[in-house]
Amino acid sequence: MSTNSTDVLLGGMLARGLGPAESIRWPLARASRLFELRYGKALVETARRPGRIPVYGTNGQCGSHDTPLFKGPGVVVGRKGQGPLGVEWVNRDFWVIDTAYALSLIADNVNLKFSYYLIKYVGLNHLKDGTSNPSLSRDTFGAQIFPLPPIDEQRGIAATLGALDDKIESNRRLLQLISHLLRAHFARLLQRDDVTWLPFDNVAKRLAVTHKHSGKTVSGRGTFVVLDQSEAGVLGFHSGPPEFVASPAEPICLFGDHTCSWRLGIGSFDVGPNVIPVSTIPSSEVHPTWLYFGLLGAQQFQEYRRHWMELKIHDIPWISATIQREFVGLATPMLALVSQLEAENQVLADIRDALLPELLSGRIRVPEAAESLDEAIA
């Protein structure tokens, strides 16, 4: 099954830091002898029935259904599209539409979770072919060469990296719970009979931005985060000094002018293109946290264009300074925990991404990785 050929490119490994080939300790194996890519099946929105089965496409989950196409756990591999081809781990039964593949193992000495980390790290975009709708063919994927550690080593690598991802996912669920609790509590406050409405310009103000970062001024690592208007919310990092310094007690609202994203900035940060920092006018007595929840969901995305002037049309709900003080008092420690969890997730992701090439190449073995992980977490 394995081969010592070095005349075949190891997918994207050289570019991602695994190579050169002679530095990889493990034997090499061709993908066609390890994996099979199984075609998905089209499932239009009108044909989907309410259910808890996740539906995956080329860029991740794209809905749900009541019937699975494949048994889980599994790995979904993106097949076609102009954007990045995703690689997703699925813990349960799932459906894959016709823009993606489901990965199956055809060799006994391959661990599925290890395969997920291996393929996700190497990436698939360099294997796409075509212009109008580039795609990944099964033959092209099958021709790739991958390092193949012994099965026990694969399991250890998967368990080590999986422990980090499990902790990240646990933190994400807690973040979602905090958000739900605060939103629900604020919504209950607005059911009172004494709610009034304050004009935007009497409450809020746009903060000046001296320097808006772009993709050219950030990197994958740095001291301070640069926030953008994307779904992920992070453009990159830089080493400062930061332009904005906020806290859980005094956050700054951030509006994505084109995407209508609306989030809170906590800590030290900078902003990317089309992100508008918003705070409150001191004379209004409205707290930034109250402003954030008061406008949450108010401005809906219509098309990719500027929406700032439309955001300013919305009024801010108001009850009393006493009610605001009680709500902010409840929200502040929760926002502090949000900031802590987000920072912890970034550290965990950095550790995982640093370990990946070392483990996959064999330069670090699993016991050494476990010791490093214990030291980093401690």
73 preceded by a cis bond (ω within 30 of 0): yes
Q: Are strands 53-57 and 95-96 parallel, antiparallel or unpaired?
A: parallel
Q: Is 332 exposed, middle or buried (0-12, 13-18, 19+ CB in 10 A)?
A: middle
| Separation between Cα atoms, residue 303 and residue 298, nearest integer Å | 15
CATH assignment at residue 32? 3.90.220.20
Residue 354 lies in a domain: no
Domain count along the chain = 2
Residue 313 lies in a domain: yes
Count of helices and strands (H, E) across the chain? 9, 20
CA distances from 210 to 30, 213, 252, 278, 328 (A): 52, 10, 16, 14, 29
294 and 205 within one domain = yes
Residue 361 lies in a domain: no
Cα 359 to chain centroid distance, Å, stands at 23
Residue 347 lies in a domain: no
pTM: 0.82
Strand order in the sheet with 252-256: 204-206, 275-280, 252-256, 262-265
Task: Out of 318, 337, 352, pick the residue that ends a domain.
Answer: 318
Residue 98 lies in a domain: yes
End-to-end CA distance of the chain: 41
pLDDT band at 2 (very low <50, low <70, confident <90, very high): very low
- Are 278 and 204 within 8 A, CB to CB? yes
Task: Out of 148, 168, 184, pick the residue that ends a domain.
Answer: 148
Q: Are strands 145-147 and 28-30 parallel, antiparallel or unpaired?
A: antiparallel
pLDDT band at 246 (very low <50, low <70, confident <90, very high): very high
pLDDT 10s digits, 75-119: 999 998 877 888 999 999 999 999 999 999 999 999 999 999 999
**Full domain range(s) for residue 125:** 2-148
What is the model's pLDDT at position 24? Answer: 67
304 and 202 within one domain = yes
| Percent of the residues in the chain that have a pLDDT greater than 70, as a whole number | 91
| Separation between Cα atoms, residue 188 and residue 121, nearest integer Å | 45
